[in-house]
Copies of this chain bind each other. A is one copy, B any other.
Amino acid sequence: MIQFPTGKQSDFVAVGRLCIDLNANEINRPMEDTVTFTKYVGGSPANICIGMARLGLNAGFVGKVADDQMGRFIVRYLEQNGISTSGVVTDRTGAVTGLAFTEIKSPTDCSILMYRDNVADLLLEPSEVNEELIAGTRLLLISGTALAQSPSREAVFQALEYARRHGAVIAFDLDYRPYTWKSDEETAVFYNLAAEKCDIIIGTREEFDMMEQFGENPERSDEITASKWFGYKAGIVVIKHGKEGSIAYTKDGNSHRADSFQAKVIKTFGAGDSYAAGFLYGLMQQWSVSDCMRYGSAAAAIVVSSHSCSDAMPTAKQVNDFIAQAEQGTQA
């Protein structure tokens, strides 16, 4: 199992995208028919970081925000959630905040309209990565989107170097989104370079397929995928198969399957982020892999039943209550 360092002042630091979700208030219809939107902090690593803070961990963020009302809203929200923003720098070039307008046609037919041109989060420079913050944390999370463009791409590799230098455990949430990448090949090359340096890798089967496009795993075998990364630095590889659940491989040769909880789904957004928060939280408590997966699944079930992602991230009490109810069969 993963050994986390002790004697660090913080538990968790995420690096990467900070953006805004604009969620349609009128749901179960196409966006052409929606009129009002509600604003939330968004971005996969932001959501995970908020999730970790809600679960009670001491968390911080390394990222870049626009010098505008959206950027200030993001910083304020992180601080209101007790997250250290000493690693969040402000862009001075006139970049904007990334936006995600969500469209919820039905609980199973959701899509996102993204604004990712000239966004502040991709302008984080390697020299702006706060070494002290990373030196003082037990777990660093990187997220694939931050690799999509320079200089944010280099900033991620710099963060990985600082984590290596100071002994932080590194988790990689693949979080692949096609925006801003120039080609699948470019994506594969940098995802692989980053994954070589990580202890925990979490992604969907499709995301791992994209990383293996240069021919080494034509059968798309989960086992081959996992064993490749055990040949580098990884100790745990989690591969998600959508409705069919997920499977976690550990370096000792074991694997663990998990199913999702039943939930009154409003939308699917945020499921992966809340799962990652719950799973990583469990690992830091030294729980069994199965318990970690169960905890992540419960957190995901809570978030997909809510209107937002970040704002719906549950506390430990909420997750525990949810699991208790589910076990009693009293879950609605």
Which A residues lie at the B interface, using CB under 8 A? 22, 25, 30-32, 34-39, 68-70, 72-73, 76, 96, 99, 101, 103, 113, 115, 117-118, 125-127, 150-151, 154, 157-158, 161, 165, 182-183, 185-186, 188-190, 192-193, 214, 216
A38 B38 Cβ-Cβ under 8 A: no
> Given A36-B25, A126-B186, A151-B185, are A96 and B69 neighbors across the interface (CB < 8 Å)?
no
A127 B185 Cβ-Cβ under 8 A: yes
Task: Known A-B contacts: A96-B115, A158-B189. Give 12 more (CB < 8 A).
Answer: A30-B69, A32-B69, A32-B76, A69-B103, A69-B113, A118-B118, A151-B185, A154-B186, A154-B189, A158-B214, A161-B214, A193-B193
What residues on B are CB-neighbors of A192 within 8 Å?
Answer: 161
What residues on B are CB-neighbors of A36 within 8 Å?
Answer: 25, 36-39
What residues on B are CB-neighbors of A185 within 8 Å?
Answer: 125-127, 151, 154, 158
A189 B157 Cβ-Cβ under 8 A: yes
> Given A30-B69, A115-B115, are A150 and B182 neighbors across the interface (CB < 8 Å)?
yes
User: Which single residue of chain B is at the shortest CB-CB distance from A74?
Assistant: B32
B73 A32 Cβ-Cβ under 8 A: yes
A69 B189 Cβ-Cβ under 8 A: no
Bound Cα distance A105, B255 (Å): 56
Which of A32, A70, A125, A150: most chain B CB closer than 10 A? A32
What residues on B are CB-neighbors of A154 within 8 Å?
Answer: 185-186, 189-190
What residues on B are CB-neighbors of A22 within 8 Å?
Answer: 22, 37
A35 B39 Cβ-Cβ under 8 A: yes
What residues on B are CB-neighbors of A214 within 8 Å?
Answer: 126, 158, 161
What residues on B are CB-neighbors of A158 within 8 Å?
Answer: 185, 189, 214
What residues on B are CB-neighbors of A68 within 8 Å?
Answer: 113
Shortest distance between the CB of A143 and any CB in chain B (Å) = 18
> Given A22-B37, A126-B189, are A31 and B118 neighbors across the interface (CB < 8 Å)?
no
What residues on B are CB-neighbors of A165 within 8 Å?
Answer: 216
Bound Cα distance A151, B188 (Å): 12
B103 A115 Cβ-Cβ under 8 A: no
A186 B151 Cβ-Cβ under 8 A: yes
Can you name 21 A-B pairs with beta carbons within 8 Å?
A: A22-B22, A25-B36, A31-B73, A34-B39, A35-B38, A36-B36, A36-B39, A37-B37, A37-B39, A69-B101, A69-B113, A115-B115, A118-B118, A125-B183, A126-B185, A126-B186, A151-B183, A151-B186, A157-B189, A158-B185, A158-B189
Bound Cα distance A188, B129 (Å): 14
Shortest distance between the CB of A163 and any CB in chain B (Å) = 13
Shortest distance between the CB of A33 and any CB in chain B (Å) = 9
B117 A96 Cβ-Cβ under 8 A: yes
B150 A72 Cβ-Cβ under 8 A: no
Shortest distance between the CB of A86 and any CB in chain B (Å) = 19
Shortest distance between the CB of A181 and any CB in chain B (Å) = 11
Shortest distance between the CB of A192 and any CB in chain B (Å) = 7
Shortest distance between the CB of A19 and any CB in chain B (Å) = 12
